[in-house]
Structure 1
Amino acid sequence: MTVRVKLEPSPEQGDALAATLRACNRAANHISQVAFAKGEVRRNGLQSLVYRHVKDEFDLGAQATVRSVKKVCDAYATLKANLRAGNLGPKGSKRRNKAESKPIGFREDAAQPFDDRMLSWNADNKTVSIWTTAGRLKGVGFRCAPDALAMLAGYRQGESDLVFRDGEWYLFATCEIPAPPVTEPADWLGVDLGIVNIATTSDGRVMAGRGLNRHRARMAALRAKLQKKGTKSAKRVLKRIRRKESRRATETNHIISKTIVTAAERTSRGIALEDLTGIRERVKARKDQRYRLHSWAFAQLGAFVEYKAQRVGVPVVHVNAAYTSRQCSACRHTNKQNRVDQATFACRACGMTTHADVNGSRNIRHRAADAWKRGAVNAPTSAP
């Protein structure tokens, strides 16, 4: 789990934190160039190449230098994973070639990880002591919700990221919370993810995305209008509303994921989700549909469902999504013509008619049950 706390530094402390981010990210850019030129992205090998120069040239402490090297290595590991998963397109594509042809770059205000040697917490007084290039800053205040404070006091472990966002300073702290053992499910709750309907369960519950899609359309029109105007006041409004759309989507995904996990926990069922990896590259959308496709936060919703389920011991299984929209959940007949339109499914073999997304979620439920019985997924060893 990650806990976000808001720092309340004085103006002088804020300047020191900003200078620290600039120094660390300039060092990270240099390290990234060396890693790209030498083809060395292993932490030990890269650190031996750059440690002395970076520590002296960029006026960083020993631990800040080590963390910057680790940040670069993590960035290249993430790039490699995205390439392997096809998230940047197939080999030879313009987007993939662009990503592979140059070193990874870091903004001057990009987040910087701090470990326990660089950052210490005082949960009782709600203060932190943090290393900067201007020296150690002690007694920097922070504020957060009471449950977040309790989580920090009891479970904080590992690194914390210093983030500067919209003129405010934050620390994102990692907390290792012990999860209860996963229980053997009595049945499965299938969940079909989509754009028109964000999530549809095999119980027949449809969580529509009409409100979120309308909000996105309004925000897109407002941004286009302000960008066309181009005045200083328009730019101020653009800055003020940035990330408003993503915050709305995040809130919606939190509500939906909590609803799904609560329903599964109450009925002693597992949760079955579609494996939608690489769907944006596979789907060929029309020009007027591309914005909706690429703003679809299905991965975030899946992540929210997984961590909420893990906290209460509910198993989560991902199944192949192929043909779930064309297959009849009653007789298993698969035909493209079964899908009459976006909302209607009518089986050509048995005549069963239902909501298309409900039918898809039931197919997902069946596939999860079959995979669990075959042992094709990791069943809990501690299950009763």
Structure 2
Amino acid sequence: MKLVVQVRLLPTPVQAAALEATLRACNEAATWVSEVAFECGEFKNFALRKGTYKQVKSRWSLGAQAAQHVIKKTCDAYATLRANLKSGCLGRPGSARYRHATGKPVVFRPCGAQPFDDRMLSWQIAERAVSLWTTGGRMKNVAFTAAPEQLATLVLHRKGESDLICRDGKWFLNATCDVPETPLNTDPVDFLGIDLGIVNIATTSDGQIMAGRDLNRIRTRERGLRAKLQKKNTPSAKRRLKKRRRKEARRARDINHKIAKHVVAEAERTGRGIALEDLTGIRERVRLRKPQRATHSSWAFAQLGQFIAYKARRAGVPVVYVDPAYTSRTCAECGHIDRANRVSQAWFACRTCGFVDHADRNGSRNIRARAWTLWRSGAQPTAPAPRPRAGAERKRDITASDATLCEPGTSAPGS
């Protein structure tokens, strides 16, 4: 399976300036190639290369490999755009958002990520240094730092391209690694049901509750602070806003990594599979009052589900997705379904048999039972298929936090 190991570069000021100049040149060239592709309507790599390769090399002083990667990056951007249009992520055809996305060429940020292959980048892992191509020539001995687990993964499994990234003045390399998967457990003894929520991020059918009250409290405080700083709008306030950007997302991602790691380890230790709810499209199906919208929009259920899925795949633990309908209203003991069973956010009391339990634990037991039924009927451990949105079919930025190992994929709604 493909994983990404993210390491942080520690360049000197001179090296950082060379890296920045390289990214700017590559992204300026990619924007120009995008304009050419948009005008002529040609978005295939080899066809586009015929008309742009020489100009990219001469005009921006790029090497042969860098020029090819610039053109390929442009084609990949248009492929992503087409996929988002097809899935409805950019609105319906004819809508203002749809026309805005299709009415102009793709523009690349000045310091957007740039791929490097093994001809442009070499690793000296023992010395904690890399050597990479820049517009000013080959730059050697660029130091990097990484955890021991990351270094071991790089030595054993690094294969393919690496992306050079500049984020808030910090430099990173995302290296692709091909890690062998553990053979899938095709005969689980049971399933560990996971109920995902906002107040309680995850509740297992074993009764373990991983509460999110602290995270929600911090998010509320952060939103209030952002509003105050935006209202103040002074240079100092803008500096503080810039410094605090992505802080909430990093915290949520770290918590999700820890929860996912714990859940998969418990399932692997006990020989069980993992049962998750298919919550695809829940944001479109649910109507909320205004005070609840920010909390619901910051619910990172998709990110947590992705983390559990790739960690389970690496550990050989099967994952089954079940329909979440009525899991919160169904009694896990007698199966009676009634809206009145859900007494409050925290408590469940069956109106028929009198069974009383924590509401999320009761829901997770229903999820476990549904997964076990599906598995015995021949269900495969696979990700849920996207549900179509009204009139259209129903989207990587997983960065590493759990030893900075994460699976490349597409961006998903979440934090």
114, 118, 121: which is aligned to 1:116?
A: 118
Structure 1 residue 243 displacement after superposition: 1.6
In structure 2, relative to structure 1, the CA distance for the partners of 1:99 and 1:202 (3 Å cut) is farther
CA displacement 1:324-380 (0-9 Å, x = unmatched): 22333333343444333322333444443322222222222122222222223248x
**One-letter code aligned to 2:203:** T
RMSD between superposed Cα atoms in Å = 2.3
**3-state DSSP class of the match of 1:305?**
helix
In structure 2, relative to structure 1, the CA distance for the partners of 1:360 and 1:84 (3 Å cut) is farther
191, 194, 203: which is aligned to 2:194?
A: 191
Question: Residues 224-263 of structure 1: matches in 2 within 5 Å?
Answer: 224-263=227-266
**3-state DSSP class of the match of 2:238?**
helix
- Alignment correspondent of 1:33: 35
Separation (CA, whole Å) in 1 of partners of 2:149 and 2:44: 38
Paired residues of 2:329 and 2:342 also in contact (CA < 8 A): yes
Separation (CA, whole Å) in 2 of partners of 1:33 and 1:349: 66
- Alignment correspondent of 2:291: 288
Count of aligned positions: 379
- Alignment correspondent of 1:270: 273
- Alignment correspondent of 2:378: 375
- Alignment correspondent of 2:321: 318
Structure 1 residue 321 displacement after superposition: 2.4
CA displacement 1:98-122 (0-9 Å, x = unmatched): 4344433321111111111111111
**3-state DSSP class of the match of 2:288?**
coil
Identity %: 60
Structure 1 residue 242 displacement after superposition: 1.7
**3-state DSSP class of the match of 2:131?**
strand
Structure 1 residue 318 displacement after superposition: 2.0
Q: Quick check: 156-165 or 27-36, which moved more?
A: 27-36
TM (normalized to structure 2)? 0.84
In structure 2, relative to structure 1, the CA distance for the partners of 1:102 and 1:193 (3 Å cut) is farther
- Alignment correspondent of 1:205: 208
Paired residues of 1:87 and 1:281 also in contact (CA < 8 A): no
**3-state DSSP class of the match of 1:131?**
strand
Separation (CA, whole Å) in 2 of partners of 1:281 and 1:103: 29
**One-letter code aligned to 2:289:** R
Paired residues of 1:7 and 1:141 also in contact (CA < 8 A): yes
Paired residues of 2:322 and 2:371 also in contact (CA < 8 A): yes
- Alignment correspondent of 1:67: 69
In structure 2, relative to structure 1, the CA distance for the partners of 1:100 and 1:177 (3 Å cut) is same
Question: Residues 328-347 of structure 1: matches in 2 within 5 Å?
Answer: 328-347=331-350
In structure 2, relative to structure 1, the CA distance for the partners of 1:336 and 1:40 (3 Å cut) is farther
**One-letter code aligned to 1:124:** A
In structure 2, relative to structure 1, the CA distance for the partners of 1:336 and 1:94 (3 Å cut) is farther
CA displacement 1:164-208 (0-9 Å, x = unmatched): 112121111111111110112111011111111111111121111
- Alignment correspondent of 1:382: none
Q: RCO greater where, 1 or 2, for CA within 8 Å and sep 6 or more?
A: 2
Structure 1 residue 90 displacement after superposition: 5.0
Question: Residues 76-115 of structure 1: matches in 2 within 5 Å?
Answer: 76-89=78-91, 94-115=96-117
In structure 2, relative to structure 1, the CA distance for the partners of 1:288 and 1:41 (3 Å cut) is farther
Paired residues of 2:195 and 2:203 also in contact (CA < 8 A): yes
Q: Quick check: 163-172 or 282-291, which moved more?
A: 282-291
Separation (CA, whole Å) in 2 of partners of 1:91 and 1:333: 44
Structure 1 residue 137 displacement after superposition: 0.8
List alignment gaps of at least 5 residues for structure 2: 383-415
TM (normalized to structure 1)? 0.90
Separation (CA, whole Å) in 2 of partners of 1:110 and 1:145: 25
Q: Quick check: 112-121 or 236-245, which moved more?
A: 236-245
Structure 1 residue 211 displacement after superposition: 0.3
Separation (CA, whole Å) in 2 of partners of 1:66 and 1:74: 12
Paired residues of 1:192 and 1:360 also in contact (CA < 8 A): yes
